[in-house]
């Protein structure tokens, strides 16, 4: 019951702020149980992407629970459906979710490290999905202290890089 109330309040807040044309920063945290499935523009992503989303690029957020989530997405923990505004995105292929979108905003971009070397989004987007072995996301204090990256770090390990180590 508390989850429903929290999600309803979040949805109403996002809708209201969108109607006013103002930008806002809203963090959606599910406190109990496993995380819901996340779909952005119809594609499934890992829950960790929620912290990388640029809220100014979000057009709408919908939440499905219970029978509807199971019927349409086979998701017993619910589904968060996010629709973004068009434009300004770069697609990056990843192992688990197949695709990761990063907003084209250099001031808020995470640092990208591939096989121990800092790379640009453009260089990362040239990697073929079958070359990637592992992707990790580091954020918050750890990203700042270990990588001097206040906007987080995306660490990519390629299959070739893994063999070298």
Report the pLDDT value the prediction gives residue 6, as an integer from 0 to 100: 57
Using one digit for the tens of pLDDT, what is the confidence trace for 55-82? 777 878 888 888 888 888 888 988 888 8
pTM of this structure: 0.39
CB proximity list for 100: less than 8 A, separation 6 or greater: 45, 49, 52, 91, 92, 93, 94, 135, 154
- Alpha carbon 119 to its chain centroid, in Å, reads 19
The full set of domain ranges for the chain reads 2-84, 105-164
pLDDT tens-digit series, residues 99-118: 555 555 556 788 899 999 99
Q: Which helix (H) or strand (E) holds 93?
A: none
Q: Are 107 and 149 in contact (CB under 8 A)?
A: no
Please state, in angstroms and rounded to a whole number, the distance separating the CA atoms of residues 21 and 106. Answer: 23
- What does pLDDT average to in each consecutive run of 10 residues of the chain (165 residues)? 58 56 53 78 80 78 85 86 65 48 62 90 83 86 85 87 70
| Portion of the chain with pLDDT greater than 90, in percent | 2
From the list 56, 63, 62, 64, the residue with the least C-alpha distance to 18 is 56
| Total number of residues shown for the chain | 165
Cα(41)–Cα(59) distance, integer angstroms: 10
- Residue 146's H or E segment, with its range, is helix 140-147
Identify the pLDDT of residue 115: 92
State the greatest distance between any 2 C-alpha atoms of the chain, in Å, as a whole number: 53
């Amino acid at each position: 019951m508390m989850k429903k109330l929290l999600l309803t309040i979040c949805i109403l807040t996002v809708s209201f702020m969108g109607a006013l044309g103002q930008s806002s920063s809203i963090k959606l945290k599910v406190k109990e149980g496993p995380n819901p499935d996340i779909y952005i523009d119809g594609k499934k992503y890992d829950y960790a992407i929620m912290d990388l989303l640029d809220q100014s690029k979000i057009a709408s957020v919908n939440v499905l629970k219970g029978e509807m989530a199971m019927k349409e997405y086979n998701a017993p923990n619910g589904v968060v459906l996010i629709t973004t505004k068009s434009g300004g995105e770069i697609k990056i292929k990843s192992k688990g979710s197949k695709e990761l979108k990063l907003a084209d905003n250099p001031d808020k971009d995470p640092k990208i490290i591939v096989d121990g070397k800092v790379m640009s989004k453009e260089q990362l987007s040239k990697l073929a999905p079958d070359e990637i072995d592992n992707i990790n996301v580091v954020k918050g204090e750890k990203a700042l202290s270990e990588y001097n990256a206040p906007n987080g770090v995306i660490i990519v390990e390629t299959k070739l890089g893994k063999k070298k180590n």
